[in-house]
Homo-oligomer: A and B are copies of this chain.
Amino acid sequence: MHRICLIGAGRIGQVHAGNIAAHAQLELSWVVDHDPETARALAQRYGGQSGSLDEALADPKLSAVLIASPTDTHHELVLRSVERGLPVLCEKPLDLDFEQARESVRIAEASGTGLYLGFNRRFDPSFGRIHDEIRSGRHGALEVLSITSRDPAPPPVSYIERSGGLFRDMRIHDLDMAYWLSGETPAEVFASASCLVDPDIGGAGDVDTAVVVLRLPSGALCQITNSRRCVYGYDQRIEAFCSEGMLRAANERQTRVEMANDDGFCREPALPFFLERYAEAYRRELQALVDALDGKPCHLTTGQESLLSLAMADAANRSLGSGAFEKVTL
């Protein structure tokens, strides 16, 4: 049994809390939140304790820390956990500041405790299946990877302003997918983007519609398309074109019902957003944490890999300015 300290009792923290409680090898020991009442309520529901970070980290039985608090708290919380010798699973991004993120990774690596980032898509059953199929080699070499990733609706501009921009906030997931599925570190990144959804996003200096091209060392190409708005649900699809075959993952729906009338044959929209689409991925992510704690190989994104995603996002941002391929520099 691994005992977890959960930091952050908000929306995503609650998802993790429920999954920890349901997992046969995990126990929700502590919940820490800047609002003590929220922490207490969540801890009580699943049989854990709540308290300050100091109190929690003082518990000698703790096995790991799961950080689901706001991005600007990640750095300190990672350092505190690493200092205490505990492995960390931290929601992405590690930090909006690349140097500070690199510092977190450096310290965690030096200490030898594991630092993992919560890139949920690696644990989506369909995307995971594509990963395994590519690795199996039975479809030949990957030649073109196409990733579609569209959010149902733009967040408030206040969020946009603190998000680090479309590429660091949203597309970073797709960049991690490109790396993880291909097994290659992209050499060059090209990006083109527009503000078509909401002029206020443009006003905040960001874009909401984008296309990215990655060039991989093998010559394989990756194209990604993003939007901050999608009227038919959370659009999350991947297509891997290989020399001997093609693999693609369609969207998830709540039911398998199709209705037919004189307008045609209709199925329901895609699942609304990430909590629904990646519900199973969040459960599998915790199994990966258990594997990591047990010393087994797992697909959690390492701190080092998370720096790569950030570097790709930054190269994409530079490409927006130059209109040309930009090298990915770590």
Contact = CB atoms under 8 A, between A and B. Distances in A.
Interface of A: 18, 21-22, 24, 45, 125-126, 129-130, 133, 139, 141, 143-144, 146, 148, 150, 188, 190, 192-197, 209-211, 213, 215, 219-221, 223, 225, 227, 229-232, 235, 241, 243-252, 254-269, 322-325
Nearest to A262: B231
B219 A243 contact: no
Nearest to A225: B144
Contacts of A266: 263-267
A126 B256 contact: yes
A223 B223 contact: yes
Nearest to A144: B225
20 contacts: A126-B256, A139-B259, A141-B196, A144-B225, A144-B227, A195-B219, A196-B220, A211-B221, A211-B223, A231-B246, A247-B258, A248-B257, A249-B255, A249-B257, A252-B256, A263-B266, A263-B269, A264-B267, A266-B267, A322-B324
A204 to B, nearest CB: 17
A230 B144 CA distance: 11
Given A197-B243, A249-B255, 5 more contacts: A133-B259, A190-B192, A229-B243, A249-B257, A265-B268
A230 B242 CA distance: 9
Contacts of A143: 194, 196, 209, 227
A265 B269 contact: yes
A211 B190 CA distance: 11
Contacts of A230: 241, 246
Contacts of A211: 144, 213, 221, 223
Nearest to A252: B256
A264 to B, nearest CB: 5
A9 to B, nearest CB: 16
B250 A258 contact: yes
B248 A261 contact: no
B232 A260 contact: yes
A213 B248 CA distance: 21
A143 B21 CA distance: 43
Shortest 4 CB-CB distances between A and B: which pairs? A324-B324, A194-B219, A245-B261, A232-B260
A220 B194 CA distance: 7
Contacts of A141: 196
A243 B213 CA distance: 23
A257 B255 CA distance: 16
A259 B130 CA distance: 9
